Structure 1
């Protein structure tokens, strides 16, 4: 049966309130949760970006949910530092934590002052980081000289079982490329055909493990309010790849996103006031073959999150489970 998770949006919500929402999501019946490791929000007015690793320590203790995160080792965070953080979270919370590794966005990584590499170089760097992290989580001492450099590193506090290292991929090509090393897949979108293409490419390339899909949605009192929410709080979602990977500042992202049309917003976000529309769209995505669908209500206000959690807990999640 498909699991349905709550996406914790650090870019929009202060960490203290986000923790309360995660607890409420568990109480409402969500099966899991996840977040992304960002230094900056996508848009200036989103106004937040708590540190995911420290927040996860609190969230895993405050709930019994399994949690995942998307992070990008290699530039802002060295792979040894990433491995140590992953090991600590997994040691303290056996079987409840996974990490998706991606090649990153300039929005978060430019702050080191190092040049932002092209996509091919970022993919090669990611693979080096994966190998370093895996070896460290296996208890090995690691020295590595490549796009990342490591000198006689070792992680001393290790979990009994290392956390799953999942591929974060938005295209079929990336999903196929990462299938060789990944313990699972996470992708994003609300178009079943596009999501199926990414998942199929991963499986055809030998990809193993659970497949998860992150879905952005805007639930409000009316359709017009839901569309206004999408534009106000998540119009960054209308900026396509590869552009979104290479924009360095939230102000620049906002200028690029301001031109988004209603159609572009709806292409990346399920926009509706009707819970049954969300239910049916999510069911169609789950039927593609995903083991978990991670749901992100793009409205950032406390009332937006509370209404989403309550409505999905009382109606949408039970109906999804009943239908399946």
Structure 2
């Protein structure tokens, strides 16, 4: 049976509402949760982008059961990997062992803000590999000094380590990232239901490890309203990762997605109150070998209604897969 998760989407809701929403998701019976870690929203219409790690700390204190996870944090430019390791260890303690650290090679949208430029994709994967190595060394509790190709660490040690080591997931989109994930990570992360990603992950050493996917939906009693909202806030989603990782600003995403029509989004995203439509799209992830699937409910003002619907109708249907 696939586990079904809830996404705290920092780009579409203010921090205080995200904390309230994760309480609702836990009460509704979601199996786990994830949170985006952005500096900017994808589009101005989304309108928010709170600091994910503060939100996680608050979420850990108002929930008691639901697991928490970054989806994903980029430890390359905006954050140094040593700082990411400290944040993750602290979150594991605060949450009582409910935290997983999702890592990825990031997007220009969020990383360029510190003025260090945006490396080419091959270099980003080299940086990610080195960053994961540093984080794992710090999780060991030893004092770490590291002089690598991209990062330096001078006599660093995590003095507050959790009893349970933080599991690490790595986002996969192709051969290079799957190789890093299979060789270094405890789980695979992806946003597309591609079986070949799992095959590459297996070949690099990931066989038998969990695979976590993510899928946007737009619940509303009115399908027309759901399509309108999905188009307004998520029309960027079909641009593809090679585009999404390179664009620098919400204005650039608006320009790149200007020709996307509401009917285009309605084909990609399950919109409205039809449970069967969501199940059909989720089945693609299950068929591709994913063991966990986090849902993104599009629209800050629909989270309460979504959680009620999910508890009564959607979650039982998805768990039948």
Task: Answer yes or no: same fold by TM over 0.5.
Answer: yes
121 and 269 in structure 1: CA distance in 2 versus 1, 3 angstrom threshold: same
Contact 2:270 2:278 in 1 (8 A): yes
For residue 196 of structure 1, what is the aligned residue in structure 2?
195
Matches of 1:269 and 1:171, distance apart in 2:
23
For residue 130 of structure 1, what is the aligned residue in structure 2?
132
For residue 100 of structure 2, what is the aligned residue in structure 1?
98
SS of 2:55 mapped into structure 1: helix
- Give me the TM-score of the superposition, normalised by structure 1: 0.92
For residue 58 of structure 1, what is the aligned residue in structure 2?
58
32 and 45 in structure 1: CA distance in 2 versus 1, 3 angstrom threshold: same
Gapped regions of structure 1 (runs ≥ 5): none
For residue 178 of structure 1, what is the aligned residue in structure 2?
181
* Pair 1:166-2:169 in alignment: yes
Give per-residue Cα distances to partners, 1:52-87, cap 9 Å, x unaligned. 111111111111211111100021011111111011
Matches of 1:57 and 1:200, distance apart in 2:
35
SS of 1:150 mapped into structure 2: strand
47 and 258 in structure 1: CA distance in 2 versus 1, 3 angstrom threshold: same
Matches of 1:45 and 1:254, distance apart in 2:
9
Gapped regions of structure 2 (runs ≥ 5): none
Contact 2:275 2:317 in 1 (8 A): no
Superposed CA RMSD in Å reads: 1.8
For residue 29 of structure 1, what is the aligned residue in structure 2?
29
* Pair 1:275-2:278 in alignment: no
Deviation at 1:196, TM superposition (A): 1.8
For residue 248 of structure 1, what is the aligned residue in structure 2?
248
229 and 171 in structure 1: CA distance in 2 versus 1, 3 angstrom threshold: farther
For residue 6 of structure 1, what is the aligned residue in structure 2?
6
Deviation at 1:282, TM superposition (A): 1.9
Give per-residue Cα distances to partners, 1:2-27, cap 9 Å, x unaligned. 21110110011001111111111111
For residue 156 of structure 1, what is the aligned residue in structure 2?
159
Matches of 1:179 and 1:289, distance apart in 2:
15
For residue 265 of structure 1, what is the aligned residue in structure 2?
265
SS of 2:240 mapped into structure 1: coil
Deviation at 1:94, TM superposition (A): 3.5
For residue 206 of structure 2, what is the aligned residue in structure 1?
207
For residue 87 of structure 2, what is the aligned residue in structure 1?
85
For residue 38 of structure 1, what is the aligned residue in structure 2?
38
For residue 218 of structure 2, what is the aligned residue in structure 1?
218
Deviation at 1:162, TM superposition (A): 1.6
Q: How many residues align?
A: 317
Matches of 2:92 and 2:290, distance apart in 1:
24
Deviation at 1:285, TM superposition (A): 2.5
Matches of 2:281 and 2:235, distance apart in 1:
20
Give per-residue Cα distances to partners, 1:193-220, cap 9 Å, x unaligned. x422222221232215211111111222
SS of 1:179 mapped into structure 2: helix
Deviation at 1:182, TM superposition (A): 0.9
- Give me the TM-score of the superposition, normalised by structure 2: 0.93
SS of 1:38 mapped into structure 2: coil
Deviation at 1:136, TM superposition (A): 0.6
Matches of 1:308 and 1:228, distance apart in 2:
16
268 and 102 in structure 1: CA distance in 2 versus 1, 3 angstrom threshold: farther
Matches of 2:28 and 2:95, distance apart in 1:
22
For residue 314 of structure 1, what is the aligned residue in structure 2?
312
Deviation at 1:268, TM superposition (A): 4.3
267 and 123 in structure 1: CA distance in 2 versus 1, 3 angstrom threshold: farther
Contact 1:219 1:273 in 2 (8 A): yes
Deviation at 1:143, TM superposition (A): 1.8
* Pair 1:75-2:81 in alignment: no
Contact 1:10 1:18 in 2 (8 A): yes
